């Protein structure tokens, strides 16, 4: 079977459901995001004061910026287009009025796009200066099938950071009991895809960084790593302008409250997966009185220290790898060996061999260690995809890198022509390094390497370098983390999977404990996130909560 045909479905599904990984040298590195940015209470509109326009606004954003247009999936150009006053495209004066009220009360036009409705919504670049520059957030919605019983809107986010909620709208598989009564609204968070975008490097530069060395083990490789990352951060500053300092998760959550008001909902209904749970938890922390029904699936602990998050995530992938290896060995003729320990050692050796001698592929590109790292972790997101892992590893052991390369490209969403149709790999460090700044020196990173290796023998070799990225980020978030107790919020459903590789189960447990109204729902299983993974107990509990507002008992296990 040709690897491209057998992996076609995987290519569509994996990238937008991937973990919230920081990208260092634009390769997978750890960290699940955080939050920073609070506006003073007296500047915050209340749920009743900020309801804004009804579901059918009548005019577009001001002429100084983009109006609502049909959804576009065109990849960004190599040179950032200029908008207002020489700033990157997507900046503008914003709607008329004063302060935050001008955003909550803006008129929005929803226009037909691909069988749905799309709109561009103005939000402040800097919530500390709401009378200053504005940017746009793109939203797309499928209207409720039963308008006579419509409850409102449910906003969705697939994770990342950098995942497109507009793309998520095309494949999220909600039960009809939900789509009958909710308008389903996907949005690209600030900095992402069709919203005012972060931009750092050209596609050619991105290609080189993705393929680069993930685990430098010589002084020359370390120096190259430092030089590569310096070039990336400089590109982010030059190409993204002032937006780079204003893509924190707290700012995304504040944008979400503006959108909630503009669709006429007094309270937010929301479904977030992976990093999308961070957005939902941050929203609850900032706007507890506006919380309606929030589902946080594949939850992240917002209070975890950056190093702790990175170690836990690396360990999560190692745990998932062990489960896969057991499956592979039980199936017979596993290409890595006949027992888990020897198979793990063989994989470590494969990475080391690729560092010295990349594998050829039929398309002419080489499979480097960096690309193989992506290729190996991609099928770990879902047990359904483990067959592709075996196929890829058998081929690699035989000296050919085609299937691992296909898997790597599925993760990064690289097209066959070398282009990247979205900017998610560039958004990830931009968001995570604002949310979870670090200050570890190179000496400290080296000294503490064993903390990664002890928890993650296979992936720790690369993971030990993850803290370097945000220790060298050129901008800082404007304000501190919120209080994640979200006191006074309605029940919030927090969902965790026991062997989730990307967002380890302990994160869901901790988030449910931290949220004053958190309700923990657990899936005993493999793979990333729980809803739609074939567990009827999980799906029924989530559907009932979203439709009736009744959460399952805290601690329910499925």
Residues designated as active site: 274, 500, 528
Phi, psi torsion values for 387, nearest 5 degrees = -60, -35
Beta bridge partners of 295: 271, 493
Beta bridge partners of 266: none
SS in 3 state form for 472-533?
CCCCCCCCCCCCCCCCCCCCEEEEEEEECCCCCHHHHHHHHHHCCCEEEEEEEEECCCCCCC
Environment class of 196 (CB within 10 Å of its CB; exposed 0-12, middle 13-18, buried 19+): buried
Using DSSP, state whether 178 is helix, strand or coil.
helix
Could you tell me which of 262, 320, 232, 255 has the C-alpha nearest to residue 110?
A: 262
Residues 6+ apart with CB under 8 A from 320: 380, 499, 500, 501, 526, 527
Q: How far out from the chain centre does Cα 138 lie?
A: 17
Reading phi first (left if > 0) and then psi (alpha if -120 to 50, else beta), residue 376 is in alpha
How far is residue 323's CA from residue 328's CA, in Å, rounded to a whole number? 9
């Amino acid at each position: 079977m040709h690897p491209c045909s057998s992996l076609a479905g995987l290519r569509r599904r994996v990238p937008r459901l991937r973990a919230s990984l920081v990208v260092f040298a634009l390769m997978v590195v750890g960290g699940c995001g955080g939050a920073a940015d609070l506006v003073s209470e007296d500047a915050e509109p209340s749920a009743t004061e900020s309801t804004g326009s009804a579901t059918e606004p009548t005019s577009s954003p001001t002429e100084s910026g983009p109006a609502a247009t049909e959804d576009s999936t065109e990849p960004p150009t190599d040179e950032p287009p200029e908008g207002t006053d020489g700033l990157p495209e997507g900046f503008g004066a914003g709607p008329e009025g004063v302060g935050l009220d001008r955003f909550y009360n803006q008129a929005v036009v929803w226009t037909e796009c691909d069988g749905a409705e799309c709109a561009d919504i103005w939000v402040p670049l800097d919530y500390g200066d709401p009378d200053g520059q504005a940017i746009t957030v793109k939203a797309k919605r499928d209207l409720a099938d039963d308008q006579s019983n419509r409850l409102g809107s449910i906003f969705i986010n697939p994770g990342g950071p950098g995942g497109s909620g507009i793309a998520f709208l095309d494949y999220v598989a909600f039960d009809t009991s939900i789509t009958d009564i909710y308008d389903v609204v996907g949005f690209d968070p600030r900095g992402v895809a069709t919203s005012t975008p972060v931009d750092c490097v050209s596609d050619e530069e991105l290609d080189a960084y993705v393929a680069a060395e993930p685990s430098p083990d010589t002084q020359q490789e370390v120096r190259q790593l430092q030089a590569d990352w310096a070039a990336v951060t400089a590109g982010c500053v030059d190409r993204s302008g002032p937006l780079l300092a204003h893509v924190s998760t707290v700012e995304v959550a504040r944008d979400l409250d503006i959108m909630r008001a503009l669709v006429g909902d007094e309270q937010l209904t929301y479904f977030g997966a992976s990093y999308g749970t961070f957005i939902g938890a941050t929203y609850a922390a900032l706007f507890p009185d506006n919380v309606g029904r929030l589902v946080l699936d594949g939850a992240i602990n917002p209070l975890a220290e950056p190093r702790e998050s990175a170690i836990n995530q690396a360990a999560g992938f190692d745990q998932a790898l062990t489960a896969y290896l057991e499956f592979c060995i039980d199936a017979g003729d596993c290409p890595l060996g006949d027992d888990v320990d020897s198979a793990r050692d063989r994989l470590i050796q494969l990475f080391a061999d690729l560092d010295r001698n990349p594998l050829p592929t039929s398309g002419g590109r080489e499979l480097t260690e960096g690309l193989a790292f992506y290729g190996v972790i991609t099928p770990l997101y879902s047990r359904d995809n483990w067959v592709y892992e075996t196929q890829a590893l058998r081929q690699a052991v035989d000296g050919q890198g085609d299937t691992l390369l296909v898997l790597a490209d599925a993760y990064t969403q690289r097209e066959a022509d070398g282009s990247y149709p979205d900017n998610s790999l560039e958004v990830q460090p931009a968001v995570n390094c604002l949310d979870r700044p670090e200050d570890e020196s190179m000496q400290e990173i080296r000294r503490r390497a064993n903390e990664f290796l002890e928890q993650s023998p296979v992936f720790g070799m690369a993971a030990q370098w993850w803290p370097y990225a945000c220790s060298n980020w050129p901008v800082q978030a404007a304000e501190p983390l919120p209080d994640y107790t979200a006191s006074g919020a309605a029940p919030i459903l927090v969902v965790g999977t026991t062997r989730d590789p990307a967002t380890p189960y302990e994160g869901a447990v901790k988030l449910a404990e931290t949220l004053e109204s958190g309700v923990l729902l657990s899936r005993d299983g493999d793979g990333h996130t729980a809803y739609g993974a074939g567990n009827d107990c999980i799906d029924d509990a989530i559907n009932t909560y979203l439709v009736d507002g009744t959460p399952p008992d805290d601690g329910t296990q499925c």
